[in-house]
Amino acid sequence: MSFNLGHDRPLDVAPGVVGVSERELPPLPDEALASPEARERLRVDPRAWFPRPEQPFEIEVGCGKGSFALEQSRAYPDVNLLAIEWAGEFFAYTADRIRRAVRPNVRVLHADAVEFLRWRVPGAIAGVIHLYFSDPWPKTRHHKRRVVQDRFLFEAWRVLVPGGELRIVTDHDEYWSWMETYFSRWTDTTNGTGNGEALVGRTGAPFERRAFTPAAWVTEGSLVGTNYERKMCGEEKRPHAVTLVKRA
């Protein structure tokens, strides 16, 4: 299988490839809807896309122009990172940056990250899922498009290994208030019907809430070191951030 940027010419870089087009994934047949068991048999393990699939594995949801993926992969060469981006131009731009920098521990996927997690990714394979400055979709009629909802939190919980982290940052105050409603449902078992405990069918809150700690390579005053953070937040506005840890 040759992965590419959605163009006719494959994008190759030793010792592997960089861009993965959703079109190159196996088709999702109707039986995927039939039962959870059928869906499990049809999943695709993205760890196999890396030259060293045995390394720890992380996912970035919405990589934008790839600044975080580039720096994270440089700082942690022994960790594989799958950066997922829906916007075609940003996907192509990021894949080209990764190719030029020769980062064999990064793959860039052109796909809807939420749907990819739901339908494609096996359970308990990722140590960290990064979600930084996702689109707040501020208009009420667009709120259904926001990433942080019960469905995403369930899939993140499923895909993470026990003790794995869902790391979230946003600079949008109203979106953060929206997120907080869901965080309480997934980290607190006292607020009744419809909480995360009921949604995953287990005893105890699915996640433990912890403070967000920036990676060691991030400069002082920043949380994730992305272009967006530098441009939109600067020194005056501190973004909201949280780490949700999957309970063992």
Tell me which residues are annotated as active site. 135
Give the whole-angstrom CA distance, residue 46 versus residue 105. 12
Round to whole Å and give the CA distance between 245 and 163: 6
The token duo for 17 is: 């490839």
Distance of CA 4 to the CA centre of its chain: 20
How is the beta sheet containing 57-61 ordered, strand by strand? 19-21, 106-110, 80-85, 57-61, 126-132, 160-170, 240-246, 207-210
Amino acid at residue number 127: G
List, as one string, the DSSP characters of 65-117.
TSHHHHHHHHH-TTSEEEEEE-SHHHHHHHHHHHHHHT-TTEEEEES-HHHHH
Nearest 5°: phi and psi at 30? -60, -30
Q: CA–CA distance from 113 to each of 106, 118, 147, 163, 201 (Å)?
A: 16, 9, 9, 22, 24
